[in-house]
Amino acid sequence: MKFGVVVFPGSNCDYDCQHVLSEVLGQETEMLWHENRDLKECDCIILPGGFSYGDYLRTGAIAHFSPVMESIRNFIEGGGLVIGICNGFQILVESQLLPGALLPNQPGHFICRYVYLRVENSETPFTRLFYPGEVIRIPIAHHQGNYFIPDSSLVTLQNNRQILFRYCDAEGQINPESNPNGSVDAIAGIMSSSQNIMGMMPHPERSSEDLLGSQDGKRIFLSVIQWWEEKQHAKK
Q: Is 19 a catalytic residue?
A: no
Cα–Cα nearest to 58, from 135, 125, 144: 144
Rounded CA-CA distance 142/160 in Å is 27
Rounded CA-CA distance 78/210 in Å is 36
Rounded CA-CA distance 227/24 in Å is 18
Rounded CA-CA distance 82/205 in Å is 15
- Helices within 64-135 (DSSP H only): 67-77, 87-94
Q: Is 86 a catalytic residue?
A: yes
Conformation bin of residue 133: beta by default, left when phi > 0, alpha when psi is -120 to 50: left
Question: Rounded to 5, what percent of the chain is helix, strand, coil?
Answer: 35, 25, 40
Rounded CA-CA distance 174/123 in Å is 21
Continuous segment of H or E residues that includes residue 147: strand 146-148
Q: Pick the catalytic residue: 17, 86, 142, 143? A: 86
Rounded CA-CA distance 172/90 in Å is 26
- Helices within 59-172 (DSSP H only): 67-77, 87-94, 151-159
Q: What amino acid positions are annotated as catalytic residues?
A: 86, 203, 205
